[in-house]
């Protein structure tokens, strides 16, 4: 999947927020795996930009230890990787630090290089300072070769997203902007397109005639870790649903694009977002539900409640669980509810897309011991396991007419095939300049438009939030969203 123009690989890659959560949990391990796979260009150098009073040596020690602990990294590959790095100490809002950066980028070691990736692995609140300071130091190069990678959430609502976009476009051309949503890089998510559009068996079922409803779940057993500063202002709707879950919804619901090109794919996703029925103020309760975790047990360990996490405001009503129902008013999906749900401190980490098919007629089996036939499901598991299967009924061997559910398994990874991390795939795309899996601004804008009424309503309801005990599947009250009486959340693959 490539953009029409395939630009040159970069020679410098600057990570802002190099000592932060995202860089240590996702970026460094993924870049190291790319090193191991021989995918990093020979002349590619990294600059770790952070606040700690470190120098190159201390940074490399830090990176070495981190990768050894996380990935058992060692030997020549690890040394080659850490030696690609320079460390630059600086504050994101200090223009001088960006002049220093310009100097580092011009060092003879790195040669004369006109192609730099700037990765903003920082809080959204710091984006604007960095963008302006890059420009102030002459590092933005509109229509140049530099690339800027921006992590979600893009803004905190539609207005701020538009402002952020205007700011980006003042200094960078759209072709230089990579808006990352790492769910796009997950293997099952990419496989969804193949599953749907490369199998004659599947596509005829994929519509309102056969599908009763769709469930998209992203459950995490983790809490907010050390991110209260960001999370308490964001909440689950902004942190997960507006971006990751909405992206999954678009891929499930979209029409086949004419080609696997960046814009063809994004055009189809935008059409889905534009077809989502707007939620009126009066129907918010029927469409959206929020809650917050209390203390509880996860895998036998006692964990604190949200309000007791360090940095969370007293009496915060920030949601750590959100469930929502959307209708897509087009010919394919009219009347089919899409239930989306995500939460922290749930029973286990598990992400999946599950489509329940319509009930078969029971008439034929009326005189048999079968009371009800459970409907069929199509289930795509995103993590921890990557798998796809369909559930159908088969007769149980024996004298009675009983059935059991049989899984038609379409797992796609052989035991010797190494699972790719989403960031591995996406970082390689950034280096290669392929924007297919990155988000275009109109996708961001339309996704904000969809959730905006919910955000506005919740912003006014500041005195109450439902709670749930950590270690469960979230509050029972979330079931109020269901249209069908026989609908329930599916909690396992
Ligand atoms: C991030 C959110 O975008 O995704 C985090 O900010 C969340 O809150 C994470 O934990 C989940 O990603 P993954 O790949 O672990 O499912």
Q: Between these two residues, 367 and 375, which has the higher pLDDT value? A: 375
Whose Cα sits closest to atom 13 in ligand 1? 183
Contacts of 382 (CB under 8 A, 6+ apart): 183, 186, 188, 189, 218, 248, 351, 352, 353
Residue 375 burial (C-beta neighbours within 10 Å; 0-12, 13-18, 19+): middle
Q: What is the pLDDT of residues 262-276, one digit of tens each?
A: 899 999 999 999 999
* pLDDT per residue as tens digits for the range 5-22: 545 677 899 999 999 989
Q: What is the pLDDT of residue 273?
A: 98
Atom of ligand 1 nearest to the CA of 186: 14
- 444, 154 in Cβ contact below 8 A? yes
**What is the rounded average pLDDT of the residues 443-466?**
96
Is the predicted pLDDT of residue 111 greater than 80, yes or no?
A: no
pLDDT at 88 over 60: yes
Ligand 1 atom index nearest CA of 220: 10
Residue 214: phi and psi, rounded to 5, are -120, 135
List, by residue number, the catalytic residues: 244
The whole-number average pLDDT for the span 448-468 is: 95
Give the pLDDT of residue 96.
97
- Cα(92) to ligand 1 centroid in Å equals 24
Whole-number pLDDT of residue 260: 84
Q: How confident is the model at residue 112 (pLDDT cuts 50, 70, 90)?
A: low
Whether cis (ω within 30° of 0) applies to the bond prior to 485 is: no
Which pLDDT does position 135 carry in this prediction? 92
**Which of 30, 239, 319, 422 best tests ligand 1's pocket when mutated (most atoms within 8 Å of CB)?**
239
pLDDT, tens digit (0-9, with 9 covering 90-100), for 227-237: 999 999 999 99
CA of 23 relative to ligand 1 center, distance in Å: 13
pLDDT for position 129: 95
Locate the ligand 1 atom nearest the alpha carbon of residue 422 and give its number. Answer: 14
Tokens of 409: 């398994």
Instruction: Provide the pLDDT for residue 410.
Output: 87
C-beta separation of 327 from 336 below 8 A: yes
- Three-state DSSP at 63 gives helix
How many angstroms separate the alpha carbon of residue 489 from the centre of ligand 1? 21
pLDDT band at 2 (very low <50, low <70, confident <90, very high): very low
Q: What is the mean pLDDT of residues 220-246?
A: 95
For residue 183, give the ligand 1 atom closest to its CA: 14
- What pLDDT, in 10s, does the model give residues 193-203? 999 999 999 99
User: What pLDDT digit, counting tens, does each position of 18-59 carry?
Assistant: 999 899 999 999 999 999 999 998 889 999 999 999 999 999
Mean pLDDT of 169-182: 92
Residue among 182, 241, 381 to mutate when testing ligand 1 (max atoms within 8 A of CB): 182
Cβ neighbours of residue 51 under 8 Å, at least 6 residues apart?
Answer: 19, 89, 90, 91
Give the pLDDT confidence score for residue 161 in this predicted structure: 95
Which phi and psi (to 5°) does residue 291 adopt? -160, 170
What's the mean per-residue pLDDT of the chain? 92
Q: Are 428 and 398 in contact (CB under 8 A)?
A: no
User: Residue 258: which residues within 8 A CB-CB, separation 6 or more?
Assistant: 264
3-state SS assignment for residue 228: helix
User: In sequence order, what are the residues at sequence separation of 6 or more whose Cβ sits closer than 8 angstroms to the Cβ of residue 225?
Assistant: 21
* Percentage of the chain modeled with pLDDT above 70: 96
For ligand 1, is residue 239 a contact (CB within 6 Å)? yes
Using the mean position of ligand 1's atoms as its centre, give its distance from the Cα of residue 347 in Å: 16
Question: Would the pLDDT of 422 be above 50?
Answer: yes
Q: What pLDDT band is residue 3 in, cutting at 50, 70 and 90? A: very low
Spatial distance between the Cα atoms of 201 and 280, rounded to a whole number of angstroms: 38
- pLDDT at residue 10 in the model: 73
Structural contact between residues 261 and 434, judged by C-beta atoms closer than 8 angstroms:
no
For ligand 1, pick from 220, 248, 383 the residue to mutate: most ligand atoms within 8 Å of CB. 220
C-beta 220 within 6 A of ligand 1:
yes
CA of 492 to the centre of ligand 1 (A): 19
- The residue nearest atom 4 of ligand 1, judged by CA position, is 240
Closest CA to 129 of 104, 96, 106, 156: 96
Can you list the alpha helix ranges (DSSP code H) found in 111-227? 127-136, 158-171, 187-197
Please state, in angstroms and as integers, the Cα–Cα distance from residue 266 to each residue in 117, 328, 425, 443, 474, following that order. 23, 17, 18, 7, 33
Query: What spacing in Å lies between the alpha carbon of 22 and ligand 1's midpoint?
Result: 9
Q: Is the pLDDT of residue 4 over 60?
A: no
Q: In this predicted model, what pLDDT tens digit does every residue of 409-419 receive, in sequence order?
A: 988 788 788 88
- What separation in angstroms does the CA of 354 have from each of 338, 450, 481? 10, 22, 17
CA distance 123 to 21: 11
Which of 140-154, 223-237, 429-443 is the least confident region? 140-154
- The ligand 1 atom at the shortest distance from the C-alpha of residue 218 is 16
Q: Given pLDDT bands bounded at 50, 70 and 90, which one contains residue 98? A: very high
Rg (CA), the chain: 24
pLDDT in tens, 116-142: 999 999 988 899 999 999 999 988 875
Q: Kindly report the protein residue whose alpha carbon is nearest to atom 6 of ligand 1.
A: 239
401 — pLDDT class (breaks 50, 70, 90):
confident
Q: Residue by residue, what is the 3-state secondary structure of 376-395?
A: CEEEEEEECCCEEEEEEEEE
């Amino acid at each position: 999947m490539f953009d029409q123009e395939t630009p040159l690989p970069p020679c410098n890659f600057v990570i802002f927020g190099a000592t932060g959560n995202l860089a240590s949990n996702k970026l460094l391990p993924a870049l190291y795996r790319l090193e191991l796979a021989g995918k990093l260009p020979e002349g590619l150098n990294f600059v770790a930009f952070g606040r700690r009073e470190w120098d190159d040596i201390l940074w490399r020690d830090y990176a070495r230890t981190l990768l050894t602990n996380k990935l058992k990294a060692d030997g020549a590959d690890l040394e080659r990787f850490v030696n690609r790095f320079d460390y630059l100490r600086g504050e994101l809002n200090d223009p001088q630090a960006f002049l220093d950066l310009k100097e580092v980028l011009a060092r003879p070691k790195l040669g004369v290089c006109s192609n730099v990736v700037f990765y903003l692995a920082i809080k959204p609140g710091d984006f604007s300072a960095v963008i302006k300071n890059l420009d102030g130091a002459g590092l933005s190069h509109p229509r140049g070769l530099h690339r800027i990678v921006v992590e979600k959430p893009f803004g905190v609502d539609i207005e701020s997203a538009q402002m952020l976009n205007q700011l980006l476009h003042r200094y960078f051309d759209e072709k230089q902007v990579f808006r990352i949503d790492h769910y796009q890089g997950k293997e099952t998510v990419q496989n969804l397109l193949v599953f749907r559009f490369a199998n004659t068996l599947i596509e005829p079922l994929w519509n309102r005639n056969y599908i009763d409803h769709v469930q998209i779940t992203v459950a995490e057993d983790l809490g907010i870790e050390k991110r209260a500063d960001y999370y308490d202002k964001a909440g689950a709707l902004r942190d997960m649903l507006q971006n990751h879950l909405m992206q999954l919804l678009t891929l499930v619901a979209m029409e086949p694009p004419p080609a696997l090109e960046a814009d063809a794919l994004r055009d189809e996703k935008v059409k889905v977002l534009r077809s989502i029925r707007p939620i009126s103020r009066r129907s918010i309760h029927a469409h959206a539900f929020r809650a917050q975790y209390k203390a509880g047990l996860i895998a036998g360990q006692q964990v604190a409640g949200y309000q007791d996490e360090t940095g969370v405001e007293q009496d915060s009503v920030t949601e750590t669980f959100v469930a929502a129902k959307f209708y897509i008013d087009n010919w394919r999906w009219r009347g089919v509810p899409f239930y989306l749900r995500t939460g922290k401190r749930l029973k286990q980490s598990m992400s999946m897309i599950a489509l329940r098919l319509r009930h078969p007629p029971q008439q034929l089996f009326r005189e048999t011991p079968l009371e009800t036939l459970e409907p069929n499901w199509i289930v795509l598991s995103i993590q921890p396991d990557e798998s796809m299967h369909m559930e159908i009924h088969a007769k149980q061997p024996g004298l009675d007419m009983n059935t059991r559910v049989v899984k038609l398994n379409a797992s796609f990874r052989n035991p010797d095939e190494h699972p790719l991390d989403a960031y591995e795939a996406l970082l390689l795309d950034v280096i290669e300049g392929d924007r297919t899996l990155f988000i275009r601004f109109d996708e961001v804008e339309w996704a904000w438009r969809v959730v905006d009424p919910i955000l506005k309503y919740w912003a006014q309801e500041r005195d109450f939030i439902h709670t749930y005990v950590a270690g469960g599947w979230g509050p029972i009250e979330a079931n109020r969203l269901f249209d069908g009486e026989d609908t329930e959340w599916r909690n396992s693959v």
